[in-house]
Structure 1
């Protein structure tokens, strides 16, 4: 009897599980042994091991971007109210995603993956800068703050702060971690 074809999402899920199980190391032989998947399926869908890992990185950062998109935060309220909600979503995504600790605490295992990660982080910082400019335009954030530097600072601070919170024993509730990081963000942006 012929084996059912392995789908792209099945490979992504199995790879994510293997990365968590193996503490960030992906050996294709271990992946195929543990899951019963074939290397042929991997090459069919992703072209290479790096292609598979790039899809994992893409999946993580695209999920993060979707979770903090403008349509996911309250449309009403002031800038700080919306951004507090966005910060909560940013933290909650990381706390829920099984690869967060690996992606926040380690360098990518390949230069190509480092470049993918750097591009996503740069895009997040650029979006934060644009958002800070909106707050400056409404007078809710001091106009003399450099929005580009502030955006990079906020995203970098959130990433490192989340990594630190994820190392805390016992793990704090998402609400507490988000509030801690929001207070630091609000202070950096000189919010009232």
Structure 2
């Protein structure tokens, strides 16, 4: 993997920290001071504040896709076992990233980010639908479940369910949250 140019990664790291510290609000002056770089460096690397935020959102969702990818799951397991593991990885990823509560609980601050987030959610829903179709083809999921509706429902439910779990007091462990959410997924899909 190629290293990011000097300054670019500093800005990304500082911007992530600033978003967390500011609960989703980022102030460019504080950001460039904490990164030790000029505002010109921000515009050079990202073109705009929106470009910087897009890079942060991209990194978050790319990391999520990697964390829940098939390469990390037991290839020889039955559908429910494999997908319960995927659910656990989905939950753990969100619980481990301090940016997740902000991304899940706040509206994106500009239209470019709203469109980007919608595209990621749409892609996750499509992947979930195809995964459900695979479970149906293998005979491990009931055929009466509409994969497209179920995929969208499950991704939306997971996102909102994780957001709710992260707001709960006391905050459950990732394993507790996974168990709660998996029971809902299993009931939705007719898994016993």
Band the TM-score falls in, shorter-chain normalisation: over 0.9
**Residue 176 (str. 1) matches residue 170 (str. 2):** no
Secondary structure of the residue aligned to 2:144 is coil
Aligned position for 1:160: 160
Tell me the alpha carbon deviations over residues 74-118 of structure 1, each in whole angstroms, 9 at most, x when there is no partner.
Answer: 111110000000000000000011110110011100001000000
Aligned position for 2:9: 9
Aligned position for 2:188: 188
- State the distance in 1 between where 2:105 and 2:41 align: 30
TM-aligned CA deviation for residue 41 of structure 1: 1.3
The 5-angstrom pairing of residues 89-168 of structure 1 reads: 89-168=89-168
1:54/1:113 contact within 8 Å kept = yes
Aligned position for 1:63: 63
2:165/2:171 contact within 8 Å kept = yes
- State the distance in 2 between where 1:41 and 1:33 align: 12
Tell me the alpha carbon deviations over residues 28-56 of structure 1, each in whole angstroms, 9 at most, x when there is no partner.
Answer: 01212333221111111101100000000
- State the distance in 1 between where 2:88 and 2:189 align: 17
- State the distance in 2 between where 1:128 and 1:145 align: 13
Aligned position for 1:47: 47
1:79/1:135 contact within 8 Å kept = yes
1:6/1:41 contact within 8 Å kept = no
- State the distance in 2 between where 1:79 and 1:182 align: 13
Structure 1: 4+ residue segments shifted above 4 A: none
The 5-angstrom pairing of residues 79-98 of structure 1 reads: 79-98=79-98
TM-aligned CA deviation for residue 6 of structure 1: 4.1
The normalised TM-score by structure 2 is 0.95
The normalised TM-score by structure 1 is 0.95
2:11/2:31 contact within 8 Å kept = no
Q: CA RMSD for the aligned pairs?
A: 1.1
Tell me the alpha carbon deviations over residues 55-78 of structure 1, each in whole angstroms, 9 at most, x when there is no partner.
Answer: 001011111011111111111111
TM-aligned CA deviation for residue 11 of structure 1: 1.1
Point out where structure 2 has 5 or more consecutive residues left out of the alignment.
Answer: none
Secondary structure of the residue aligned to 1:23 is coil
Secondary structure of the residue aligned to 1:109 is coil
1:141/1:191 contact within 8 Å kept = yes
